[in-house]
Amino acid sequence: MDDFPDQPSSEPGGEPLLAVRDLRIAFRVDRRTTAEAVKGISFDVPRNATVALVGESGSGKSVSSLAVMGLLPPESTVIDPAGSILFDGRDVLRLPAGERRALCGRDIAMIFQEPMSSLNPVFTVGFQVGEVLRRHLGMTRRQARVRTLELLDEVGIPDPAVKIDAYPGQMSGGQQQRVMIAMAIACGPKLLIADEPTTALDVTIQKQIVELIARLQRERGMAVLFITHDLGLVGEIADHVIVMRHGEIREAGPARQVLGAPRDLYTRALLHCRPTLDARPVRLPVIADYMAQGRVAEAVPQRTRGYAPDDEIILDVRKLSKSFWRGEGLFGKREFRAVKDVSFQLPRGKTLGVVGESGSGKTTVGLTLLRLHRATGGSALFEGRDLLAMPDREYHPYKRRIQIIFQNPYASLNPRFTVGQILLEPMRLHRIGTDDADRVAMATGLLERVGLPAQALHRYPHEFSGGQRQRIAIARCLAMKPEILVCDESVSALDVSVQAQVLNLLQDLQDEFALSYIFISHDLAVVKYISDQVMVMHGGEVVEYAGADELYRNPQHPYTRRLLSAFPRGVE
């Protein structure tokens, strides 16, 4: 690591818009103990430039941005008074509360990672954007509505005259994020902080959001601090890159230099952990391996993929359909066909990747196969029996054999249960194990299998990181001794290194137990890495179905080509 990493430089003769100097932030654990999250970092954000702050969860990048905005909880946060955060020459840490609120509402704005939790679900999007204009610019309601329509149009919301009166829940994830951007730029800020604004969005929507932020930055002359863990995405938008780990800056410099010829081992490790479209190593490298070895590994063996003619078919899906009905008028209803005659076969010990944008029907396919939605038509033959047609009592034994890993492990794990209770409850329901002592032994073994200590049995989900929670979710599935796992966006929101660990774990389990996976994702590189066959869905239909290598090498459908063209490739 460099003793003093290169910092983004301002334009000749000018001061940076944001200058962070020796920032140290700690959180109170108890009355006597604090945990240091940011350890004396210094960096600049030049005017009219985009700086990317990159690192894994826990690196301190989001904490640093929240300190700039004044959003850290004062009762549990300790900021070293020796440090400073200079915005336009003013130290925001020493401004009176009223002045800082006005500054952060008007001159500094922030886009948060999860728009659904940032937007108030009981107010229309027009009201929420207009509230910013009324509060900071003193507009009347009529003036705010006119300006809100202009902002919604500027950020690419379709039919802004209609959407202005819509609620957040009536909009897609990409549209919600556009509303958040409209709120952020409403007052013409000089600095826009974007905290993981594209995490878990489809590649096409992700590209649209990145291009939108880049266009607004150019047209409005803003500075942008773009926070992410995806180095591939950074190359599409950033002028400068700052890499953080464990609260410290590891490397900083121009984006082309940092991404093209990184000097720090940690930066090189970040770049190599992410799956790519042109390689499929037997095991994905993880950051701990690189840091322990002190070097980036040389060429590794590649894994071959694909179905074979003599593969045993464990699941045969034929013309699967699912419709939803929406109310229309006083008594009428309208059919929405979410899945339209989807057919595929899944061999034992193989992986079918399912890709497509939000609303393509890929998740609905998975949920319908598990009978969490009732199918409208079609069949799913498992060992010659139709899972969708059998009565509930007959289906009960099959529940154990087909399991699902959801995208958000915290939402799918009961926060009031310990990990031990989470693992033991399904074992009791399906009468796995002779008694509770036997089940505890099995649960301990499962935790060890997914890389967690036995002590985790007595802890609660909130005490674990996102990657660890996903491992607990996998262990719960394994407790059922399943034959098919539906992985629904199960690694989408994870850091690249944690994502690599979970993908390696899934591959190890498949090799050991001959598990079959239906791997649903919008991440094309992850799907290419883990899939034998890939099914591309659009508008509820299968538009392309081929071997993973063939589909990525020679996509036939225009929609598949559009998905691949939207994949972020970093600095060319």
For the CA atoms of 246, 252, 258, 261, what is the dihedral angle to 10 degrees?
-90
Is residue 6 scored above 70 in pLDDT? no
What integer pLDDT is reported at residue 478 of this predicted model? Answer: 87
Is residue 571 scored above 80 in pLDDT? no
From 10-14, 77-81, 555-559, the region with the lowest mean pLDDT: 10-14
What integer pLDDT is reported at residue 307 of this predicted model? Answer: 93
Confidence of residue 570 (pLDDT cuts 50, 70, 90): low
Most confident of 44-48, 76-80, 264-268, 518-522: 44-48
State the Cα angle at 556 between 555 and 562, rounded to 5°: 65
CA 202 to chain centre: 10
Residue 511 amino acid letter: D
**Per-residue pLDDT reduced to its tens digit, 322-364:** 999 877 766 778 888 999 999 999 999 999 999 988 778 998 9
Is residue 13 scored above 50 in pLDDT? no
* Cα–Cα distance, 194 to 203 (Å, whole number): 17
Upper half-sphere CA count for residue 534 (Cβ side, 13 Å): 27
Is residue 394 scored above 80 in pLDDT? yes
Share of the chain above pLDDT 70, in %: 95
Confidence of residue 299 (pLDDT cuts 50, 70, 90): low
Mean pLDDT of 305-319: 94
Q: Output phi, psi for 332, to 5 deg.
A: -80, 170
C-beta of residue 110 within 8 angstroms of C-beta of residue 65: yes
Is residue 4 scored above 60 in pLDDT? no
For 23-62, b/e burial (b = at least 16 CB within 10 A) is: bbbbeeeeeeeeeebbbbbbbbbbbbbbbbbbbbbebbbb
What integer pLDDT is reported at residue 1 of this predicted model? Answer: 44
All residues at 6 or more sequence positions from 165 whose CB lies less than 8 Å from its CB, including other chains: 124, 126
Start-to-end CA distance of the chain, whole Å, equals 25
The model's pTM: 0.82
* Cα–Cα distance, 109 to 125 (Å, whole number): 17
Mean pLDDT of 42-56: 94
C-beta of residue 233 within 8 angstroms of C-beta of residue 568: yes
Is residue 487 scored above 70 in pLDDT? yes
**Per-residue pLDDT reduced to its tens digit, 410-460:** 778 999 999 999 999 999 988 898 899 999 999 999 898 888 889 999 999
Return the residue matching tokens 């040389």.
298
Note whether 18-262 and 274-297+313-401+483-567 share their fold: yes
Residue 220, token pair as written in the block = 């409005």
Phi-psi region of 246 (alpha: psi -120 to 50; beta: other; left: phi over 0): left
Residue 349, token pair as written in the block = 């010990």
Stretch (H or E) spanning 212? helix 203-220
**Per-residue pLDDT reduced to its tens digit, 453-480:** 899 999 998 888 777 888 898 899 888 8
Strands 248-254 and 402-405: unpaired
What integer pLDDT is reported at residue 380 of this predicted model? Answer: 96
Surface-to-core class of residue 86, CB atoms within 10 Å of its CB (0-12 exposed, 13-18 middle, 19+ buried): middle
- Give the residue from 119, 25, 120 showing the smallest Cα distance to 72: 25
DSSP-derived letter for residue 156 is T
Share of the chain above pLDDT 90, in %: 57
From 131-140, 498-507, 512-521, the region with the lowest mean pLDDT: 498-507
* Cα–Cα distance, 97 to 560 (Å, whole number): 51
Architecture of domain 274-297+313-401+483-567: 3-Layer(aba) Sandwich (3.40)
All residues at 6 or more sequence positions from 368 whose CB lies less than 8 Å from its CB, including other chains: 320, 322, 339, 374, 375, 388
Is residue 293 scored above 50 in pLDDT? yes
C-beta of residue 524 within 8 angstroms of C-beta of residue 356: no
Upper half-sphere CA count for residue 311 (Cβ side, 13 Å): 20
What integer pLDDT is reported at residue 194 of this predicted model? Answer: 93
Delimit the domains of the chain by residue range. Answer: 18-262, 274-297+313-401+483-567, 409-481
C-beta of residue 23 within 8 angstroms of C-beta of residue 43: no
Query: With the C-alpha atoms ordered 132, 137, 138, 140, is the resulting torsion angle positive or negative?
Result: negative
What integer pLDDT is reported at residue 146 of this predicted model? Answer: 96
User: What is the helix, strand, coil percentage profile of the chain, to 5?
Assistant: 40, 25, 35
C-beta of residue 324 within 8 angstroms of C-beta of residue 349: no
Architecture of domain 18-262: 3-Layer(aba) Sandwich (3.40)
State the Cα angle at 56 between 109 and 512, rounded to 5°: 140
Point out which residues pair with 336 in neighbouring strands.
324
Phi-psi region of 122 (alpha: psi -120 to 50; beta: other; left: phi over 0): alpha
